[in-house]
Amino acid sequence: MTYAIFVYGTLKPGCSNFYAYNDVISGHHEATINADLYALGQIPGITNIGSDSVVKGSVIYTNFDGLLSFDALEGHPNLYTRTKVHTIEGEEVWVYVYNGRIDDRTKIEHGNFQEIMVNTNEGKMWAVPLEEIVDGKEIKIIVNNYICKARLT
C-alpha cells in the first residue's frame, strides 16, 4: 500500500530529511493545504487545519515502513499527530499537526517554511525569526546564534 503525506518542513524535496529518507520515498509533487504555519526554531509546525491561511509544501509517497519511520521522526503522537486532510488540490493525505503551544511562536504568514532560509557568507542557513514574518518587512532573526536583521522579499 502507498501512503500520501503532506510535508512542509525538513521532509520537503531539497531539505535534509527528504534526502535522509529518500530510500522510502517513491514520489512527490507540490501541493498546498489550509492551515496555520509556525516557526518552532529550526523546524515548523502547523495548527488550525482548515483555516484561511495557505501552507505550501509537497506530497510525498511512501510504504508502510516509511510511514512508521516518519511517525518516529515527527514524534507521533506526542509532539505531532498524524491527521488525514485534503489538499487544496483535492488529494486526501496524511499531515503531521503540531501539538504544542503556539502563543509564543512566530506565524509564517506567507506559508512557506523554506523561505526562512537565508544566504550568508557561509552558505544557506536556517533563520529563526524573532518577530512575525510579513513580506517585505525588515525583521530580527537568529542565524548561527547571532541576532541579525533581514529584509524578506
Q: What would the pLDDT profile of 28-87 be if each residue is shown by its tens digit?
A: 999 999 999 998 877 899 999 999 999 999 999 999 999 999 999 999 999 999 999 999
In a domain, 24, yes or no: yes
Same domain, 22 and 92: yes
Measure the CA–CA gap between 99 and 78, rounded to whole angstroms: 7
Flag whether pLDDT at 18 surpasses 90.
Answer: no
Residues 89, 44 share a domain: yes
107 within domain boundaries: no
**In this structure, is residue 103 part of a structural domain?**
no
Segments forming the whole domain that contains residue 14? 3-98
Residue 51 sits in the same domain as residue 123: no
Query: What is the Cα–Cα distance from 27 to 70, expressed in whole angstroms?
Result: 15
Q: What is the pTM of this model?
A: 0.78
Confidence of residue 115 (pLDDT cuts 50, 70, 90): confident
Residues 46 and 91 grouped into a single domain: yes
Number of domain units in the chain? 2
Asked whether residue 10 falls in the same domain as residue 68, the answer is yes
**Is 133 part of any domain?**
yes
